[in-house]
Structure 1
Amino acid sequence: MSTPAPVPFGAALRFWFKLGCISFGGPAGQIAIMHRELVEQRRWISERRFLHALNYCMLLPGPEAQQLATYIGWLLHRSRGGIAAGALFVLPSLLLLIALSWVYVAFGHVGWVAGLFYGIKPAVAALVLQAVWRIGGRTLRSPARSPLLWAIALASFVAIAGLQLPFPAVVLAAAAVGALGGRWWPAQFDAGGGHAAADRHYGPALIDDDTPTPPHARFRRSRLAAVVGVGALLWLLPMAGLLAWQGREATLAQMGWFFTKAALLTFGGAYAVLPYVYQGAVEHFHWLTGPQMIDGLALGETTPGPLIMVVAFVGFLGGWTHQVLGPGALFAGAALAACVATWFTFLPSFLFILAGGPLVESTHGQLRFTAPLTAITAAVVGVIASLALFFVLHIGRPQAGGPVDGVALVLAGLAALALLRWRIGVLPVIAGCAVAGLALRLAGVA
């Protein structure tokens, strides 16, 4: 099997847009989709390089799946590739959430999509189970390094699901174990064994294990200074414009500053930062109510893109409620507020990748750096497993103490079989479950 040909920028753009449209399932499902498309099928990047980038993204605040897309796009096509990949990962979700948010505030409910949501949630649970199977199997299956990595994965599962410890603490503990284990038991943390076998199965990749770091991805202080400078301007200019236009106490300026802080606190994914967003948006600024925040989370969970895109819903309702462009332009003001929330939430993610990527590439293949990242990968398997458990319990018994929803569990089981055994694509499975959910609701079965 020959090495894939270089990827034209136009072809990459089409793929990143497609990914933004089908990236259901939260970070676990999105990472699974990227692994299947980029590592297994297209072979744009080898599994070891993919996991090396993923481990770095897991350490950062912000949506790791979107940052991973940005990283791979940057590695393939320089800064323009990274910006395009990250932006197209978010854009379809932003447009869809603006449309759904308008329906929500204009008609006062989201009942017309309740049936679709009922069917999509079991598909989301199945996608997370698929991610556990794919990433967990490849990370933990090597006999030479199974014991310690299995122990790390199990400990992280118990820490998150049972003890409810914060995700950053789990990541730091895993990294510490990896750093020590890399010195004392290097064979346990050598990423070569299991991944190399998998890579041979998929065939050579465009960015393979031994592919030299491209010139644009090598660390230079001048480049780092330029990226940081441009990033600072991209934050300062919009913020200065909002302050000059409407003042410090205006809703849009408050959103810019609030969502910047939220972006820097999202260690552990969207669920870790949602209490902070709830406290600020609902209790302090009164951009929306508590029940509306829950409805927004339901929309965020069942639309493509990262779950933190719920900030677009929060921004839209805040812009609509506070009439940021006046009573005669409710939709325009709300859509502008959604864009402001999204801009200030995701800007740091791009900077983390474009500024830190060259440093990460320089550590590829060095065990003292890769051992902690390998341990983090094992911990992430446990975290994803805990997320799968959360989804299964949530769809099986949506109300605490209520009856078990056997229909939803059957749908989740069928979706899991379709993904894992019959190898049906993600989009057909999600579409099929959505149609099934709508039909069951209309028939009064669910």
Structure 2
Amino acid sequence: MVELADLELPDNPKLASNIAHFARALRRAGLPIGPGRVVDAIRAVEAAGFTERRDFYWTLHACFVSKHEESTVFAQLFRLYWRDPRYLEQMMSFMSPMVRGAAEERTAQAAEKRAAEALLDGQERDTPEQEEAKEDEMVLDIDASQTISAQERLRTLDFEQMSLSEMHEARRILAGLSLPVKPLRSRRTQGLPGRIPDWRGTQRGAMRRGGEIIDFSTKRRRIRYPNLVVLCDISGSMSQYSRAVLHFVHGVANRRGQDWAQVHAFTFGTRLTNITRHLRTRDVDAALKAAGAEAQDWEGGTRIAACLHDFNRDWSRRVMGQGAVVLLITDGLDRDPTADLGREMQRLSLSARQLIWLNPLLRWDGFAPRARGIAAMLPHVTSLRAGHNIASLQGLADALSRPEDAGEKTRLMDVMREAAPDPDANRFAFTRAANTQT
């Protein structure tokens, strides 16, 4: 067992000061730690001793962690603070803007970014771009009035074109987006004042007064909220967009006071995977890591029809009741030529109150439904919209509030009709060829 005495700690170490600094880092990472817990932790370490790292870890864990979801943040901070004395240099390399290939050599684990931000506490490394910006400060001040803000540019930037720092900021914006939905009026009623006459209630009230009717009772229809079902394509061509959309769905599923009855999430590539329970984790990094570990077909092939068939057969009756809204995120490029994608889409649309399709390919101005899978899916969706940036995800609220707005579906259906061959012309050509042979 490795002892803490063997670890390389700062010069002139003071254990109480280090524990207090470690507690402040935990507090910046989101753990509710006050001065009382710090005092208890110091006393607990004095009583339990700290000859072994495991005993020291669990002693601080018992003092600082009160919820299960806080364990991941605590573990990352403990590893960075007590085991690796050069954590600042290592985490600086993760947080500084750089090319994607160099940054992906070491992927940050769940909650590691939050731990790094808590330990760094606003420190930044000077990059060549920042040095040039300092030298040309006056030029930037002059040009800033003629350009849009960085946040507005980020909202319209394609997810696939974002750098690591831009994607980090985009995920923060996506976590704060909301997806409101209007309540549905049920056929069932409740005994509250309304516009529907309640004859039974009126008779019961009259019987209490000897049969005399003094006032009429009324009732109103019950209010209920629908479920949100998300079907997200995680194939190779959709991986970057899928991660961004799942960040958005995680924020919707964990936001307090949201109007959805329940939020169900499924991923599909070559097979269907239910990741609903993973998205209930409060930490988004831990949630997506667990979802990616269970979805073994991430960045693999695409079998849309087969996966929709599995959903219609195994999950439709469980999650699609009471007017559910389905959010389908895919490019529609099905790789299975033998499957009946149109039939599965028709069955899915009949079970949903709204079927909204987000297709990142709509970012191209000249997009046309030439692919077989897209042509089979398009007639059965309620609305077709782009899903390649933050602004397109913000437009989902309009799609829910205005079911009559079909988005790009109307235009693309007209393109399909113009490109389709004329059946009367084909029949005339066939008749003329038969008469010629005769």
Sort the TM-score into its range (normalised by shorter chain): under 0.3
Determine which structure has the larger strand proportion and give its number: 2
TM-score (norm 1): 0.22
Higher Rg: 2
Determine which structure has the larger helix proportion and give its number: 1
Greater RCO (Cα-Cα under 8 Å, separation 6 or more): 1
TM-score (norm 2): 0.23
